[in-house]
Chains A and B, each alone.
Chain A
Amino acid sequence: MKTWVAQLRKGLVEFSVLAALRHGEAYGYELLQRINRIEGLALTESTVYPLLARLTRDKLLTVRVAPSPAGPPRRYYRLTDEGQSHLNDMAGHWKQVQTGLDALLNGTGDRP
């Protein structure tokens, strides 16, 4: 994978995880599958699970623990109000960047 693609993805990991939880709670592996179903957003467990722990510590996510017959209790993650606000902020910045880059690519940006 090209370095800049890897760096771009690295910078978008937190945004991707928060965005994947926008429409409902999920446990770790479920969230990972939700993200990896989308082309171009390949993430792995060693990136996502520690990030979930950090986002929970930072109070951007809340956890609901539910028993599972298949192993340890499942931890369902959900956005907190603070997490939702952080995600909205990120989405706003993302749209600005996207619009700016589109303008540059299409040659419609301001010219000196």
Chain B
Amino acid sequence: MTWASTPHLTLDDAIQKRLDAHLDKVEKVLARDGATRGERRAITDELETQVRDMLVAEAAGGDLKPAHLDAVLKKLDPPDAYRKPAPGLGHPMLDKVAERVWPMNPAWPLGFCVLGWAVLVLSFLSGSPNTGGAFALNFVGLVFAIIYRKDELGRQGLLACGLSAFLLIFL
């Protein structure tokens, strides 16, 4: 199919807004996985082209309705499908664990780091500083951060947990 033979397709504001929301979700997943701006643009442009081609077929010459877009979006992969698979950890058993952990949120490492410091501050205020507990939580965060190291949030978690654990050694 060439562009010259493609029927003209104008989407009304409501349908365009819903389509944009779907494309934004895909772009967000790609951005979190480290895709460059150009790659994100190329991928979402391809996806929009596909949706529009499918809408033409779905509407079959009739008026385009939001239900047509819903039907098309149902046939497509969900935005999370654009997430890269978990990086290999060098051992099949570790990869299996990572595969199970991966669907969780890559913000976990940062969460454990914050939790570790919260434990330290609260225990310090109560009179018996628990540096061991804080260190253990940061260590868990570090393990999650290694699993999520290819994700932007995961890398931030790696930095935070690494620095935290280093500081806690001296406390």
Contacts and interface: CB of A to CB of B under 8 A. Distances in A.
B9 A70 contact: yes
A53 B50 CA distance: 16
B45 A73 contact: yes
Contacts of A38: none
A32 B50 CA distance: 10
A74 interface: yes
Contacts of B8: 69-70
B49 A70 contact: yes
A87 interface: no
A27 B49 CA distance: 9
Interface stretch (B35-43, B87-95, B138-146): B35-43
Given A70-B3, A70-B52, A72-B45, A46 B9 contact: no
Interface residues of B, number: 24
6 contacts: A29-B46, A32-B50, A49-B47, A70-B8, A70-B53, A75-B46
B43 A49 contact: yes
B43 A50 contact: yes
A32 B76 CA distance: 12
Interface string A67-95: 11111111100000000000000000000
Nearest to B78: A46
B1 interface: yes
B126 interface: no
The secondary-structure label for the interface of chain B is helix
Contact of A74 (B3, B30, B43, B81): B3
B82 interface: yes
B18 to A, nearest CB: 15
Q: Which range contains the number of A residues in contact with the other chain?
A: 20 to 34
Interface of B: 1, 3, 6-9, 30, 35, 39, 42-43, 45-50, 52-53, 56, 76-77, 81-82
Contacts of A71: 9, 48-49, 52
B70 to A, nearest CB: 17
Contacts of A67: 3
A45 B6 contact: no
Contacts of A70: 3, 6-9, 49, 52-53, 56
A66 to B, nearest CB: 6
A56 interface: yes
Q: Which among B39, B42, B56 has the greatest number of chain A C-beta atoms within 10 A? A: B42
Contacts of B39: 50, 53-54, 57
